[in-house]
Chain A
């Protein structure tokens, strides 16, 4: 199914989904949220999953994130078949291999930014001293060092999403999964966030899979656009616009959607 691979970084396959299905029952009806998707994402690629709501794009992302298990088919991330992993192994996979950002930021309200950002390190049982320095480093990278002792409710949406990005980075994962990361933001802060995502993709070499329903946004940042409808893959094309933007990516700040 997959289209031609025009990834600039000729990495090996970071993600490979084969006949991926996720069906569930809602009352008497069987819902095929993901229905036989086969796709490959190369290491270092920036891929956008596009589709209208209910197309199954978020379900695919959750399967790649190891938050959900496929009904059938397989999803192999860095040579590990997620369907075969135990719950414990899947948790470790999410901890060390995947960083996630969400439309609604999903910071824990009762914690300060610093605590939110270092939370994955607690799960990784990293000692306090190292946790603090890593959290500072990550918050510094997203420009929130001065706000580290604030609670999420004291911050703007853009700042919250930046904190969420810092949290996604903290364990230095190879994979960044973003589910409508700009959906709750105005276009200016959305651009700010997307530039950061691109920075991570290019400077840190993270493979990015972003779910969005805004084609324009996807075209501005993603190298490759994958279209889903009714749980099926309906299109897969490389994106030259993003490649152009990359060439002089400082100009992207001024661009409008």
Chain B
């Protein structure tokens, strides 16, 4: 029998026992709906997590550190052992930074400047970590929610505050529990106000002798002595508050866990004393600054790996968020698997419903099968007919189930967002039904139904026509 004929006959037969076949189809629908619901929850959560990570702005960033930097313990230990010994490894200085910037796929490489210092606001001192931001951070999602505006130029004496620091300046204590800070409210009294930053400036020793002169080399050679020495001068810098950012200081932004941000060039020109200065000084051959770490922005997250490899070959350690998200992806793969298995259970139960319905149909239509065989239907024709009925129920159930699953998702999304709104949290999209899932769910329902039809169809095909015709 040809496919159109099969389909026509199958649909006719399904209509004949409408109630029973509808119930079976609803069973499949519920199975598919639960599968779709489970998987779309998994996918939705994964997307939510990915979006959150993307917002951190570090998805396309590789952090480069010198192998001498002892803070880089733990990771890639073996690699370190195989690589150059820390003592021989290269220094992360300005020429190196430029070299990295010229690597393919690299958009920019900027030093991470970070120091802890004192800021005065209304003559009250506040101690905090200060970090420099490159101009590119303006387009970074992390600064999406900034109140006020970004730095007017890369050298402007301006500052962007992290919201908890803004709270501190205003003398507010963050409420425990839910984070309900209204950034706009915080920013209003602070924008345009002035901060005074007191910091320690590093100066080459021979140019500016100072009372704080230090010599850090354990056994300096004569030639090294001059460059190995520097003085520290206390300085002040006035800063205008131009923005307050809604950044989470505890988020993935590890390298810049600071609460006050300055323009990069301004920060560079300050020559502020950094924690690593003492260690690097012995090897610094020139006035060129030496960086504890350099952030490298790559064209796309897909190029991270290649760039990391290239930089490692240069003799540096690298770290990217992608390394961290890899385990996250693994977690979601396992989560999806388990959600999928639970979702499939309902479909498995529904498939037993198909078997039951078709076995009942065979008993009921025994005579009909006998007639069809008597007038020339082959075993294959009968088998295909039952297969077609099972398949039709599967596809029908698949479509209804996907619609049902989608509707369940919408309702839960809506409900969750109503709840989030009550908690004054921004709405989120937990539920995602991608098109491939729609197609795959229907296909899966179809295949499961055909598998369920296997036994009944075989049984119908083997029916002895003489006995079947005798059956009343």
Contact = CB atoms under 8 A, between A and B. Distances in A.
B469 A125 contact: no
Contact of A125 (B1, B9, B16, B370): B1
Contact of B16 (A65, A110, A119): A110
B451 interface: no
A181 interface: no
Contacts of A171: 376
Contacts of A62: 466
Contacts, number: 70
A122 B1 contact: yes
B177 to A, nearest CB: 66
Contacts of A94: 373-376
Given A110-B16, A125-B1, A102 B376 contact: no
Interface string B362-377: 0000011011111111
Contacts of A120: 375-376
A2 B466 CA distance: 27
A67 B376 contact: no
Contact of B466 (A67, A87, A88, A111): A67
A91 B373 contact: yes
Contact of A91 (B5, B12, B376, B469): B376
B276 interface: no
Interface residues of B, number: 25
A107 B375 CA distance: 11
Nearest to B368: A108
B377 A123 contact: yes
A165 B97 CA distance: 95
B13 A91 contact: no
A123 B381 contact: yes
Most buried by B among A96, A100, A123, A125: A123
Q: Is the interface of A mostly helix, strand, loop or mixed?
A: helix
A124 B465 CA distance: 19
B64 to A, nearest CB: 71
A91 B378 CA distance: 5
Nearest to B376: A95
B379 interface: yes
Nearest to B380: A88
Contact of B372 (A65, A88, A119): A119
A240 B13 CA distance: 49
Nearest to B2: A125
Contact of A87 (B1, B370, B372, B378): B378
A88 B368 CA distance: 19
Interface in B1-19: 1-2, 5, 9, 12-13, 16
25 contacts: A67-B373, A67-B374, A87-B379, A88-B378, A88-B379, A88-B380, A91-B377, A94-B375, A95-B377, A96-B376, A100-B375, A106-B370, A106-B371, A106-B469, A107-B371, A108-B368, A119-B372, A120-B376, A122-B1, A122-B2, A122-B5, A123-B1, A123-B372, A123-B381, A168-B375
Per CB-CB distance, the 3 closest pairs between chain A and chain B, nearest first, are: A95-B376, A91-B378, A122-B5
Given A106-B371, A108-B371, 13 more contacts: A65-B374, A87-B378, A87-B379, A88-B378, A88-B379, A91-B373, A91-B379, A96-B376, A100-B374, A102-B469, A106-B370, A110-B13, A167-B375
